[in-house]
Every structure is written in C-alpha cells, then in structure tokens.
Amino acid sequence: MNEHNLILMALALYVGAFVYALFLLEGRPLWGSWGHRALISAGWLLHTYALYQRAGVLQRCPVTNPFETMMFITWAVVLCYLIFGMTWRVSFLGPFALPLVIALCAFGLFPGLDRGRSDELQRSVWLSLHATLSLLAYGVWGLAGVTGAMYLLQERQLKTHRLRRLFLRLPAIERLDRTNYRLLVVGLLLLAVGMAFGFVVGVEFIKKDVPKTLWSFLVWAIYGGLTAAHATGRLHGRKIALGSVAAFLFLLATFGAVNMLSTAHRF
C-alpha cells in the first residue's frame, strides 16, 4: 500500500476520533476516553508506517517536499499529544488538536504537493536533522497554539459569566497556561538544536538562503520573546495564549511562502 493510501486511512481514523470526541464532550462516551485514545493511536501508527515507508525509499527522514513536510508536522503534533497527554496528564488536548491535524493532513494530500525533492536534504545528514528537529518544533508549537485557543475559549466563558456545556469539559485556565508555557519551551529548545545543526552545514550554505535563515531567526525570536515574557511574569494567561495562537498562525501563513523563496533548503 502506498503512503498516500496509508495517510488516507490515518486521516479517516483521526476524523473518527474527532467525531467520537464530540460525543465525549456531550457526555455520551461508548468506551470512555479510552476509545478516543485508541482511535488516535491507531491513526498515528498508520501515519508512522507511511512515513517509515517513505523514509525507507529516501534513506532519510521524509521531509523533502510539501507533502512529506505536512505529514511530518501533523505526525509530530499527534506524537506530542500522545507523549505529553500521558506524562503531563493533559489528554484533554486531543479533541482540540484533531481539527488542526485533520486540516493539515487533508491539505498535504492535495494533488501536486508530493512532487520535487530537495537534493541538499537528500545529501546532507546534518541538514536532514536540522529539518527534522525544526519541523518537530513546529509540531510542538502547533499543539501550543491549540492550548492557547482552548485557554481563550475557557477564559471568555469565565469573563462573560456565560458558562456553556464546554465549560465543564475544558480544564482550568491555569493548567492550560502551564501546558502552553511548557510546550513553548520544548519547541524553543527543539528549534534551537535544529538551527544549530543547520549551522554545522556551514555559513556558505546559509548565505545561499538568506530569507529562510532570517525567517527561522524571526520565528525563534517570536517564540523566545513569548517564553521569556511568561518566565519573567510580564505576560500571563490571556496574552500568552493569544501570542501562542498568533505565532502559530504566522508560522503557518508564512512557511509556504518562505519555502518558495528558499533556494537551497526547501522542505
């Protein structure tokens, strides 16, 4: 079975998990939250197998064209959810992260996106690591954006005193704020290491690709600023949540364009 079909099946399971989550939010679960987790995990396993299959062909992490990149980012978002959901006890993120995963997966499956490969990425191990870690960071920040959106939803209900059904299902805003901050830090570290691997490739290579390098620094600075503002107590709660959502939207909106401008390391 080719990777596209595997991703399609994974996408169907993610959609199933999302529909199941809607029942969960309504308080009518068939197998409780376990059913939801099982559907997401099954989807992620298929997703992983699709990437593994493609990696076998490329002999590299499959992040060499827009299709692979989208699949890798969405895979990273689900992976983060599965890891942090269990270790930080924030499984409530799942139902809210799924619309993002589904939308990006569906976009990645558009015809024509699985074409053309970055030769540089195929040649250099360092550049491959750089791309992998950077995309993992974007995945983590994607989840931070979802957490931020959840914060804004819950905070609005608390501010307006209009408590809807969702109010009881959403976690405490302080818990969301803490989770958001942790995800910002994890993403920041991943991108920092990813960028360091990029530097290993050499200054010559960076010179060839000024827009992408500058953009990466800008993204790192935006997230770095948000993280620092939270750590020092300058910003807390709503503003950090807004920042998280806005930063990820900026990342999504500009990623494609910067990639197009990139001459050396498109992914």
Residue with the two structure tokens 């995800």: 183
Is residue 159 a contact point for other proteins (CB under 8 A)? Answer: yes
Give the phi and the psi of residue 168 in degrees, each rounded to 5. Answer: -70, -30
Looking at the Cβ atoms of 211 and 237, the one nearer to other proteins is 237
When binding is defined by CB under 8 A, the residue of 132, 154, 227, 244 that contacts other proteins is 154
The vertex-166 CA angle with 161 and 169, nearest 5°, equals: 115
The one segment of 80-88, 110-118, 151-159, 205-213 that binds other proteins by CB under 8 A: 151-159
* Nearest distance from C-beta of residue 86 to other proteins, angstroms: 18
When binding is defined by CB under 8 A, the residue of 158, 200, 257, 260 that contacts other proteins is 158
CA distance 201 to 125: 9
When binding is defined by CB under 8 A, the residue of 112, 115, 161, 203 that contacts other proteins is 161
Is residue 35 a contact point for other proteins (CB under 8 A)? Answer: no
Is residue 199 a contact point for other proteins (CB under 8 A)? Answer: no
The one segment of 10-18, 27-35, 142-150, 189-197 that binds other proteins by CB under 8 A: 27-35
Quick one: three-class SS letters along 223-258? Answer: HHHHHHHHHCCCCCCHHHHHHHHHHHHHHHHHHHHH
CA distance 99 to 149: 12
Is residue 228 a contact point for other proteins (CB under 8 A)? Answer: no
Looking at the Cβ atoms of 167 and 199, the one nearer to other proteins is 167
Annotate 54-80 with DSSP letters as a single string: HHHHHTS-S-SSHHHHHHHHHHHHHHH
Looking at the Cβ atoms of 28 and 115, the one nearer to other proteins is 28
CA distance 186 to 46: 25
Is residue 237 a contact point for other proteins (CB under 8 A)? Answer: yes
The tokens for 249 are 């939207």
Is residue 236 a contact point for other proteins (CB under 8 A)? Answer: yes
* Nearest distance from C-beta of residue 94 to other proteins, angstroms: 18
Looking at the Cβ atoms of 175 and 265, the one nearer to other proteins is 175
CA distance 14 to 19: 9
CA distance 127 to 195: 9
Residue with the two structure tokens 């080719």: 2
The one segment of 35-43, 131-139, 217-225, 237-245 that binds other proteins by CB under 8 A: 237-245
The tokens for 102 are 């589904």
**Residue count, binding to other proteins (CB under 8 A):** 25
Would you tell me which residues interact with other proteins (CB under 8 A)? 27-29, 32, 154, 158-159, 161, 163, 165, 167-168, 170-175, 233-239
